[in-house]
Amino acid sequence: MNRISSQPSLVSLDDRRRPEPPALVLVAHGSRDPRTLNTVHDLLDQLRDRRPDLPVHLGHIELNEPLLPDTLASLGQAEAVLVPLLLSRGYHVKRDIPEMAAASPARTRVAAPLGPHPLLVDTLHARLVEAGWHAGVDEETRRESAVVLAAAGSRDPESAIDTHRTAQLLAERLGVPVVPAYASAATPTVETAIRALTARGRHKIAVASYFTAPGLFARQCAEKAPWIASAPLGTHPAMTDLILHRYDQALAIPATSAA
């Protein structure tokens, strides 16, 4: 399993306390499904457990409070790193979040989205195994097996590139074809991907849920699985590792301010 471990000490060698690090603002999309908000709060708790001296905040793009502009306003002119709880590039990552950050008084850096990254593949693999994916299968079973990577979908072509890269990484891990498919805004659909794989002689098809939390899209995609469907990424420890990794990466980017 990939693991990135970095927890800098806030105490220097001569026992003087270092300044508080820039806040980590986890930027969630927002959802009407209460399970999504519960998952996000659980991730926040994990982040605080891992980095007790790191200020951790939450901001939503829409649908849930606190909204990101309100969270940033509450920070005043403090430094903050915004980590999108999103799995690929797209409109929210490239437009919404930077524009909200630029309109705030806070000195901000915007981290990269979570995907693609090997830690996401660790999580996808673990969720598939939990659902019943066969580990160490024989060659005949491998020839019959495949995975549909079910994602939300976006009209942004870079989002599809990122999802396709995750599918490639997962295929390398599993040793079977992995086809990206989408719940909305992009093709192929999950049903189309399943039909195409079946036509190729792949009869044991799993649906890997490429969603950060439970919700309507995740449920609809899982219901189409002809065999097994994995749970969303959720609060797997690799997710916390990846959020902190994106935060640490972004610290190398100069902070920007609306001033």
* 182 contacts 124 by C-beta, under 8 angstroms: no
Mean pLDDT of 218-236: 98
* Tokens 């939390």 -> residue: 213
In tens, the pLDDT along 150-209 reads: 999 999 999 999 999 999 999 999 999 999 999 999 999 999 999 999 999 999 999 999
pLDDT score of 29 more than 90: yes
pLDDT at residue 141, as a whole number: 85
Query: Comparing 140 with 1, which gets the higher pLDDT?
Result: 140
233 — pLDDT class (breaks 50, 70, 90): very high
pLDDT score of 6 more than 70: no
4-18, 86-100, 130-144: the lowest-pLDDT one: 4-18
66 — pLDDT class (breaks 50, 70, 90): very high
Mean pLDDT of 111-135: 96
176: left (phi over 0), alpha (psi -120 to 50) or beta: beta
Coil/strand/helix, residue 59: strand
Coil/strand/helix, residue 34: helix
Known catalytic residue at 29: yes
pLDDT at residue 254, as a whole number: 77
pLDDT at residue 77, as a whole number: 96
pLDDT at residue 17, as a whole number: 64
Q: How many CA atoms lie within 13 A of 243 on its CB side?
A: 33
Q: At what angle do helices 34-50 and 237-250 cross, to 10 degrees?
A: 70
36-64 as b/e: b if 16+ CB within 10 A = bbebbeebbebbeebbeebbbbbbbbeeb
CB atoms within 10 A of CB 176: 21
15 — pLDDT class (breaks 50, 70, 90): low
Give the active site residue among 29, 60, 92, 245. 29
Cα angle vertex 44, ends 15, 1, to 5°?
85
2 — pLDDT class (breaks 50, 70, 90): low
pLDDT at residue 158, as a whole number: 96
Mean pLDDT of 20-26: 96
